[in-house]
Structure 1
Amino acid sequence: MSEMQPEPSFAAVQITFSQGWQVYDKILQYDYMDHQQVYGILRSHYQSLTEPFDLLELGCGDASQSVPALQGSLIRSYRGVDLSAVALQLAEAQVSRLQVPVLLQVSELLDYLQSCRDRFDQILVAFAVHHLSAKQKQAFWQAAGQCLQPGGQLLLADVFRLPNESRGQYLDRYQQLMQGQWSAMTATEQEFINTHIRQSDFPETDAEMQAWARAAGFTAIDCLYFGNADTQKIWRCSRPEGNKRAGLE
């Protein structure tokens, strides 16, 4: 069972990342959250696809990480969703490099999934679902399944708790990880990040997330990556094959 959680404030998450854009860039620069390996694996996945695909990226930010992973693939169209209008303005220049039809939309990811009537071959969401509460994550899996074509895949890169680890224990462990390994971050920057994750991060265990994914009709769940810090993972979650429905409108 997932422990009781407060409802996250998505506005607070957006404000925090808007204020901390330079801190986030520093995390990317020093690869503290395994972005190089994560997006390298995502690139391998997308390059391996042999049929053209329509992709939805949730929490896309400025798309500076995902676009290089998609370049050279058979991507047919790209749709990016993020809370930050500023980030999406930056994303415009990035996604133009894909040379495919693009739509960028300001929205919270769960609201978007629940209102979207289009169907995609691929959904990508990286380091965003852990901001949802347990109830919202269950709704996320159900809505994501409805937005995928039969045989479609959702790639999830995110942080996870260890088995039997409480949220409080996870947060303490993550803080110790930062203090021990994130040496390029100043004390002020580390405190900024620690405040953010304690307010906004609600990671689940593998067992909880897999149960919700399977209940939503995902029949194959493969772990493509498990980070050295026992936090970051990539899942590839597949829907069963069947007759495809109408795609993008």
Structure 2
Amino acid sequence: MHETDMNAASSTQALFQDQWKIYRKMVDNNFLFHREAYARLHEILLSDVARPFDFLDIACGDASASASALVGTQVAHYHGLDFSAAALALARDACGRLACPASFEEGDFVSSISARSAPVDIVWIGLSLHHLRTAEKGAFMGTIRRLLAPGGRLLIYENTMPDGEDRDGWLKRWDRQRSTWSAYDDLEWNTMRDHVHAADFPETDASWRALGDSSGYGSVLEVYAAPSDLFRMYSFKA
């Protein structure tokens, strides 16, 4: 490996580690109510999915929460998709506890899903779909709908505004979390805040329902709302 390549690889790894530290503080302190959301996912997979199912985990990260949610369910195959090779390495370890085959794919989730043709039963995406604008979300959800096997469903946990709120209002409520998220120092908070302000585009409850309808889903249900009301979980059934 050339020195330039080694420097680039070192820089990429350092960036991953810095971002991962911020992310893990968020998860470990349950600031985004991951525990409740994944517990709800587990309940749905146990109570509402009566047959063995393939599970597509989009933007899976380290897959630790998804793997926990899948334990004890009828999952027949797990497929994790993420753009980060480092995260996928962790995901492989996390999914070792599952009693089913697991596969992993590195890539951008929009282009990867657009190129996919194999049907799937359950698709899960948590706190990543909000990086797309409304029309892009609709196109992506339509692609997922065409991939779903009969009776399949798309489950999402995403940034959501109450009806009548705009993005500025949602961002102001996000910023107010600073007073309680004491695990972050100022540099970490500002790094995360800058990302959210630049890249997060929440939808209203009505917008998520309209996107489900226009994408061809037979039913759209809200199945969980975070106590902060910054995030909600929806089930879109084929």
TM-score norm. by structure 1 comes to: 0.86
Mapped to 2, the partners of 1:203 and 1:16 lie a distance apart of: 26
Greater helix content: 2
Which whole-Å deviations, capped at 9, do the CAs of 1:162-214 have from their partners, x for residues lacking one? Answer: 222221221122111x2222122222221111011011111111112211211
Q: What is the correspondence of 1:1-249 to structure 2 with a 5 Å cutoff? A: 19-48=18-47, 49-176=49-176, 178-239=177-238
Give the CA deviation at 1:43. Answer: 1.0
- What SS does the aligned partner of 1:183 have? coil
Q: Is the 8 A contact 2:159 2:201 kept in 1?
A: no
Q: Secondary structure at the match of 2:64?
A: coil
Is 178-187 or 52-61 further displaced after alignment?
A: 178-187
Aligned to 2:4: none
**Aligned-partner residue type, residue 170 of structure 1:** W
Mapped partners of 1:127, 1:97: distance in 2: 24
Counterpart contact for 1:16–1:196, Cα < 8 Å: no
Post-superposition Cα deviations, 1:145-169, rounded to whole Å, max 9, x if no partner, equal 0110121011111111222222122
Give the aligned residue type for 2:105. Answer: Q
Q: How much has 1:19 moved relative to structure 2?
A: 3.5
The secondary structure found in structure 1 opposite 2:203 is coil
Pairwise CA distance, 1:16: 7.2
SS in 2 for 1:65: helix
For the residues of structure 2 that align with 1:218 and 1:110, how far apart are their CA atoms?
Answer: 19
Q: Stretches of 4+ moved more than 3 A in 1?
A: 15-19
TM-score calculated relative to the size of structure 2: 0.90
Deviation sequence 1:113-145 (CA, Å, 0-9, x none): 211001111111111100112221011111010
Q: Which residue of 1 aligns with 2:10?
A: none
Structure 1 residue 66: Cα displacement: 0.4
1:10 corresponding residue in structure 2: none
Note the aligned Cα RMSD (angstroms).
Answer: 1.5
User: Contact (CA 8 Å) 1:63, 1:94: kept in 2 or not?
Assistant: yes
Maintained 8 Å contact 2:154/2:235: yes
**CA distance in structure 1 between the partners assigned to 2:179 and 2:125 by the alignment:** 28
Instruction: Give the AA of the match of 1:45.
Output: I
Unaligned stretches of 5+ residues in structure 1:
1-14, 240-249
Native 8 Å contact 1:59 1:128 kept in 2: yes
The 3-state SS of whatever aligns with 2:161 is coil
In the alignment, the residues of structure 1 paired with residue 170 and residue 221 of structure 2 have an alpha-carbon distance, to the nearest angstrom, of 23
Q: Using the TM superposition, give the Cα deviation of residue 22 of structure 1 relative to its aligned residue in structure 2, in angstroms.
A: 0.5
1:246 maps to none
Distance 1:96 1:74 in 2: 16
Query: How far apart in 2 are the matches of 1:179 and 1:202?
Result: 19
Assess if the C-alpha contact under 8 Å between 1:113 and 1:147 holds in 2.
no
Give 1:17 deviation, angstroms. Answer: 6.3
- Point out the more displaced range, 179-188 or 81-90: 179-188
Q: Which moved more, 1:135-144 or 1:159-168?
A: 159-168
Which amino acid counterpart does residue 50 of structure 1 have in structure 2? Answer: A
Equivalent AA in structure 2 for residue 20 of structure 1? Q
Return the offset for 1:235: 0.6
Query: How far does the alpha carbon of each residue in 1:30-54 deviate from its partner, in whole angstroms, 9 at most, with x for none?
Result: 1100011111111111222321001
